[in-house]
Amino acid sequence: MPSSNPSAPPGDGSPAPGALVEIDYELWSESASGERELVDTTRAEVASKAGVPAPEGFAFGPRSHRCGGDTFPSGIEAAIRSAAPGTEFSREFSPAEAFGERDPKLIELFSMHEISRLPEMRRPDADLRPGTILTIGGRQGRVVTVTAARVRVDFNPPLAGRKIHGSFRILKEITDPVEKVRALLGIEYGHGPEFRIEKKGSEFSIIIPERSKFDFRWMAAKPRLIEAIRSQVAPTTLSLIEEYVSPSAKDRATGKAPAAAPPSGPAGTPPASDHVHSGPKAHGHDESKPHGHDEPKAHGHDESTAHGHDESKAHARGGPKPDSRDESNDR
């Protein structure tokens, strides 16, 4: 049952640090003048009323969260961490608890000559005015004022100095091993419903969707994902598999590509989503229930199937083989 005190989350029964939970929430920032702006939400009706459009392929709905992680500022994270599954609460967070106080020293003055030499200002469509985002010395800042000879740039976080109002529902703790793996896919990379996850004893296989095979974001997320799965479900073997389906003779004749494997979620599962924001982004997640498919494997051997799949396996220290099914094993 929801908490009877909506002003503060209860502490009894709260998940342990690192636990995975499913949450539903909305976050609003408040400026010094009292104006509110939607920062982030999982709720379609809230985004619609705020006039914040969803990105293409975005699906609203509860998402996975790792307690004690860095998805939210520390004060907001602590409030979520102290709430037991099944509770609901609303709270105001001071700037210090949220995105920090504004630091006047982070507002700096640059000559127009310095600004004109930046790569983004050499593009034909370059636009220099208050609100323009510039990267100077590896720091990202927002232009505050522009004169003929000087440009003032604010390197404070966009939400620094603002109060944050949050409304949260902690729906459940995720305990099923396959659901944990899918939740971690959403947290570390996104597009969780598009992955097939298979479990045989303590061995896990993740079949990579077409969109991720050549995605640099996936390549960057893999080390974090592997480490997170190790800590959450302790697999004896973790296999990351790429499937390449050979086209049929008819497809080759017509120039059609083979049909892609369907997502692993149940019928009607929405596409993978990231957070929808009008402010700075946090990590995006989405998850759905797995759709099982047992597929025996013999590590280190070439395999073929009656369905025309060319399959081979590459251990985690090797790279994917062309025109093959690649399986990275983490023992």
- Which pairs count as long-range contacts for 211-214, CB under 8 Å and 24+ apart, including other chains? 213/242, 213/320
DSSP codes joined into one string, 96-163:
TTTT----GGGEEEEEHHHHHTSGGGSSTT---STT-EEEETTEEEEEEEE-SSEEEEE-S-TTTT-E
pLDDT at 256: 66
Residue showing tokens 């603002």: 162
Residue 266 confidence class, pLDDT cut points 50, 70, 90? very low
Mean model confidence pLDDT for the chain: 80
pLDDT of residue 254: 75
pLDDT in tens, 6-61: 334 444 578 899 999 999 999 999 988 889 999 999 999 999 999 988 877 678 99
pLDDT tens column, 282-327:
444 444 344 444 444 444 444 333 343 444 343 433 444 444 444 4
Degrees (nearest 5) of the Cα angle 241, 296, 294?
80
pTM: 0.66
Q: Is the pLDDT reported for residue 239 higher than 90?
A: yes
Backbone φ and ψ for 124, nearest 5 degrees, come out as: -60, -30
Q: How confident is the model at residue 259 (pLDDT cuts 50, 70, 90)?
A: low
User: β-strand 326-330 against 107-111: which pairing, if any?
Assistant: unpaired
CATH tag, 1-102+162-175? 3.10.50.40
At the topology level, CATH places domain 104-154 in Thrombin, subunit H (2.40.10)
Helix (H, G, I), strand (E, B) or coil at 301: coil
Per-residue pLDDT band for 246 (boundaries 50, 70, 90) equals confident
Which pLDDT value is given to residue 253?
72
pLDDT of amino acid 260: 53
Region 101-114: mean pLDDT is 95
Share of the chain above pLDDT 90, in %: 61
58-75 pLDDT, tens digit each: 789 999 999 988 899 999
Strand ranges for 155-278 from DSSP E: 163-173, 196-200, 203-208, 237-242, 276-277
Domain boundaries, the chain: 1-102+162-175, 104-154, 176-331
Residue 280: is its pLDDT beyond 70? no
